[in-house]
Structures are given as C-alpha cells and as structure tokens.
Amino acid sequence: MKVHALLLLALTLAWPCSAAATDYSVRPELSRLAFHGTYQGATFNGRFKQWTADISYDPADLAHSKFDVVVTLASAGTGDHDQDNALPGPSFFDVLNHPTAHFVSTGFHHEGNLVIADGQLTLRGVTRPVSLGVVFRQQSAHSATLDVAGHLKRLDFGVGSGEYADTSVIGDVVRITAHLQLAAK
C-alpha cells in the first residue's frame, strides 16, 4: 500500500511538469514568407509582405508543437508589374472573396533526419493537406530560427483558372519557403 501511495504521489507531482512546446513570436522584420514558380519556363520568385504566425515548437516534443499561419493574399509581390496586378484578381487569389490563406498544422513526424509538419491549407475556399519540411535551430534560450519548405499544386486550389490553367505556361507546382526569426514569449 505504501508503494502505491508513493507512486501516486510521484505521478501527481510530475504531471504539472509535463513537457510543453515553447510559444514563439515572429520577428517580422527579420522573417520572410516566399513562393517560387515557373512562367514560360523561367523561374519567378515572390513573397508575402503581410502574414501572422502562431508558433509553438519543441523538437523533443512534437506532440505539443503547432503552427497556425494566416497570410494576407493581397500582400503578394513578385517585382513584375503584370504578375503583381494579376495575382489579387479572380483568376488567381481572388482576394475580394478570399482575402487570406490559412495553414494549420495537424501533426509532426520524422522522415529520416527531417521533421515534417503535416497540416491543412485553406486557399480560395479550398482546404487540402500540405506537408512542410521543418528545420529548427535554437539560437539562445530566448531565440531560434525556423525554416520551412514544401510544394503545392496551384490548380488543386483553383489558383490560375481559365486561360491561366495551362501548365505549359504557368507551372502547376509552386514551392513555398519561409525563414522565421523567433523570440520566445
């Protein structure tokens, strides 16, 4: 009976000390969310200037880690006047009806040495699974960097519809990358 009482006491004392992922705020001035695609066989690069990210992460405790990212689609820019004018329109992001994209992680797993964040991306009212490779580097007790990368098919979300659905002109596969400078909350 005494052993059971000691075991129960030990478990009760350990419960509040359960591991939890660290909550981070993103330092936007040092961070970047980008996309990369092809147009007429040439690579183009773009970025989103407005987005928010709620990040809780611990590489040793992936079960309690989570990403929640909201992107303002009208903030997309490529540096090309024609592309930048077309992206917010109804054939591409359709920002009047769908002003944001939203990625929420559903879990994390290892593929070899790489951590994969599985999640759901909602873009233009379409929700589909997307997986992102994750590289986390602890800089100090209060700061870290987080790099993520993955691919999606734009046509799965209706991006580039109508005459722009021709994948020989605009490639279907779009690479998403992010470099986040994080500060522990």
For β-strands 173-184 and 100-111, DSSP reports them as unpaired
Task: Note the pTM of the prediction, 2 decimals.
Answer: 0.88
Measured in degrees and rounded to the nearest 5, phi and psi for residue 4 equal -65, -40
Contact partners, residue 183, CB within 8 Å, separation at least 6: 24, 25, 26, 27, 142, 143
Per-residue model confidence as pLDDT tens digits over 111-158: 999 999 999 999 999 999 999 999 999 999 999 999 999 999 999 999
- Spell out the alpha helix ranges (H) of the chain: 2-14, 81-86
Q: What pLDDT, on the 0 to 100 scale, is given for residue 116?
A: 98
Q: Pick the range with the lowest mean pLDDT from 14-18, 62-66, 153-157, 177-181.
A: 14-18
For residue 14, pLDDT over 90 is answered with no
For residue 17, pLDDT over 50 is answered with no
Q: What pLDDT, on the 0 to 100 scale, is given for residue 1?
A: 47
Coil, helix or strand at residue 132: strand
For residue 16, pLDDT over 90 is answered with no
Residue at token pair 């009208």: 74
Measured in degrees and rounded to the nearest 5, phi and psi for residue 76 equal -70, 140
Please state, in angstroms and rounded to a whole number, the distance separating the CA atoms of residues 36 and 121: 17
Domain boundaries, the chain: 23-184
Per-residue model confidence as pLDDT tens digits over 163-176: 999 999 999 999 99
- Give the pLDDT band (50/70/90) at residue 78: very high
Question: How is domain 23-184 classified at the architecture level of CATH?
Answer: Beta Barrel (2.40)
